[in-house]
Amino acid sequence: MLSRNLLRSRVLGCTTAQQFLITQFRAATTSTIRYQSTTSTTTSTASPGSNRNIDTIADEEAQAWLSTVRELRAQYEDAGIPDYESSQMKQLKTAKFEPTDAQLEQYALLKDKPIPMKHDPVVSHCINMIMKDGKKSKATKYLTRALYIVRLKTREDPVEILKETLDKLGPLMETKTYKTRIAKNLVVPVPLTERQRFRRAFLWILEGSDKRRSKDFSVRLGEEIVEAYNGKSSGYEKRLQLHKSAILHRAYVKLR
């Protein structure tokens, strides 16, 4: 009988003592219900005192049930029968994760490698430049198709090709005009940051793609990126003119 209750307690996830008490409580409850069903009772004859007596009896039965549970648990602990709930909690508190040798080797190989970013900043910048009226998903689709065309034509990583193209096409300097109190304005060459260089280069790529014949914007953009990667884009002429203007006005460069 004990082994059957023990097996049942494992399946139901409770201790043997709790399972035994639950069974006894169900039997007592069933007999009480059957006894009350044979008598005719009405709500009008019930008095407040009887309700209080019923509540008192229920409290006494609950206290007796709890005390019996404590006594049985103490008996089982003294007898050496394990408490499965407490043993599982002890395992959760004391158990520690111990990696295997294969996991340690993999950790050593990947320890010094940087974690890649979720979104490439250069690609996100280009998407924001393509976007119109806040339709970012549409701009992302255009650039994704354009990079796929670059992949088909070059058989290389299209993101790296885009970065290399922007780096080659982006100007190093630009000129800014400052008004003076005299008749002649002051033209000063100013160096550009990497983000500014990439922005100017991608704007030139977008201008070159608008002159192509294809009706699909993704096709035009992909072809223009490939041409700029090969050094045949019209943006290189604009870059050369900008550098010539900066060299011409190099005397006004401000050195700090």
Length of the chain equals 256
Q: In this structure, what token pair is assigned to residue 96?
A: 């520690």
What superfamily in CATH does domain 121-252 come from? Answer: Ribosomal protein S7/S5 (1.10.455.10)
d(CA 123, CA 129) in angstroms, rounded, equals: 10
Quick one: which of 191, 197, 207 has its CA closest to 246? Answer: 191
Q: Where are the domains of the chain?
A: 121-252
Q: What is the pLDDT of residue 187?
A: 87
Q: In this structure, what token pair is assigned to residue 18?
A: 């709790």
Q: Is pLDDT of 38 > 50?
A: no
Q: What is the pLDDT of residue 35?
A: 40
Contact 189, 199 (CB under 8 A): no
What is the per-residue pLDDT across 158-205, written as a single tens digit (0 to 9) for each? 999 999 999 999 999 999 888 887 778 888 899 999 999 999 999 999
Q: What is the pLDDT of residue 58?
A: 78
More confident residue, 174 or 23: 174
**Is residue 146 helix, strand or coil?**
helix
How far, in Å, are 54, 210, 246 from residue 214 at the CA level?
89, 9, 36
83 pLDDT band (50/70/90 cuts)?
low
Q: Is pLDDT of 91 > 70?
A: no
**Other residues' Cβ atoms within 10 Å of the Cβ of residue 161:** 19
H-helix segments, the chain: 2-12, 16-37, 48-79, 84-94, 101-110, 121-130, 136-154, 158-169, 194-210, 217-229, 235-248
Q: What is the pLDDT of residue 57?
A: 75
More confident residue, 44 or 75: 75
